[in-house]
Structure 1
Amino acid sequence: MIEFRRFDHIGAREIHGTVQDVYARAYAEAIATRDPFESLEASMNRFDAYLRAPGFDLVVLYLDGEPTGQAWGWPLGKDTAGWDGLQLDEDDPEFTRENGTRTFGLSEIMVVPEHTGRGYAGALHDELLGARQEQRATLLVDPRNEHAYERYRRWGWYKVGVQRPDWEGAPIFDVLLLPLL
């Protein structure tokens, strides 16, 4: 049986261990590289920082009662640092203008390896974004991650620029956008 459970920042703190467990299983290969940016500790430190974002939204996928995947994000606020370092493909001075209701920042979608390839990532994507009221969503994707990149394109995302976030050891990501309304 498939079940989605939605959590705000308070609920996400309460299930922190579940989030960490799913993360560790979903990203075991990346964690095993010993790249400091990919470490479980660094990833969970970022997660903890995300919980401070107003409007934080987490959806956890349960299969037969077992947490198997998750997706989270938050609306970009007026004074967001979410666009820091952004280099747009086209010059648009209004692109980064935020008011807390314009753009939802999708941070993560993950499914544990034994359940990938069954459409669960797409279901998480749709469950998380389907309830959003923002005009658009954005996400960062490593351009070398061809599998994820192709999936995002199939779901309607398109590239608008590149960005290196202000996280220690962060690579340069492609910035993708998806209209929501």
Structure 2
Amino acid sequence: MTTAPTIDLRTFTALEAVRGDVLDVYAEVRAPLLHLPNYAITAFGERLDRHSAEPGFTVVLAYADGHPVGYAYGNRIEHGDRYWQRTAPEPAQEYTRRPAAALKEIGVRDEWRGTGTARRIHDAFLAARDESYVTLMVNPAAGDGKVHRLYQSWGYQDLGHSQPSQASPVLTVMVRTAR
């Protein structure tokens, strides 16, 4: 039996001190896609800044030997939020009538994939939340469907589809209970 690698998980509710670390990990994780407008570092940085100003923003970073190896961030979404408005078919009120946590992005450097680091970051993000449900969007083609299947193994179920921007692919919206 192998042991999980030693990482230090740190949770922040403000972006300023760790923005560079998030961008560094993002640039490596998304390197094959950075030429696409939606995945460009500048586009991601703009989304990150916008999301960090929204209610309930939280970012969790994983560090190994003082270097960032992964992150997840998200915020709280309310009934009527554009996140839900762009989801088709319209989600059941069970998910939208109360605030939900929206996991906006998760990324782990290549050498840390398959170590449980992504799940530990995800769980630390949820540990800081008090919403009943958590939702995320995934490109169903990412990793030939591997990422979608990973989220399913974490208890997420498909809820619908969304295209957050014209430059974005159509994403699968998933949801699960937060606990």
TM-score by structure 2 length?
Answer: 0.89
- Counterpart position of 2:3: none
Pick aligned residue for 2:138 from 134, 137, 141:
141
- Counterpart position of 1:120: 117
Please report how far the alpha carbon of residue 161 of structure 1 lies from its aligned counterpart in structure 2 after TM superposition: 0.9
Q: What is the root-mean-square deviation in Å for CA atoms of aligned residues?
A: 1.7
Pick aligned residue for 1:175 from 166, 173, 176:
173
Aligned partner letter, 2:47: R
- Counterpart position of 2:150: 151
Please report how far the alpha carbon of residue 77 of structure 1 lies from its aligned counterpart in structure 2 after TM superposition: 2.8
- Counterpart position of 2:76: 75
CA distance in 2, matches of 1:65, 1:23: 17
Q: Deviations over 1:101-132 (max 9, x none)?
A: x3100011110112211111111111111231
Please report how far the alpha carbon of residue 15 of structure 1 lies from its aligned counterpart in structure 2 after TM superposition: 1.8
CA distance in 2, matches of 1:91, 1:84: 9
Aligned partner letter, 1:154: S
Unaligned 5+ residue runs, structure 1? none
CA distance in 2, matches of 1:103, 1:91: 12
Please report how far the alpha carbon of residue 79 of structure 1 lies from its aligned counterpart in structure 2 after TM superposition: 4.6
5 Å-filtered alignment, 1:74-113, equals 74-88=75-89, 92=92, 94-95=93-94, 97-99=96-98, 102-113=99-110
Unaligned 5+ residue runs, structure 2? 1-5
Q: Deviations over 1:49-86 (max 9, x none)?
A: 10111110000000121110000111103452111221
Please report how far the alpha carbon of residue 133 of structure 1 lies from its aligned counterpart in structure 2 after TM superposition: 0.9
TM-score by structure 1 length?
Answer: 0.88
Q: Percent identity?
A: 30
CA distance in 2, matches of 1:136, 1:153: 15
Aligned residues: 172
- Counterpart position of 1:58: 59
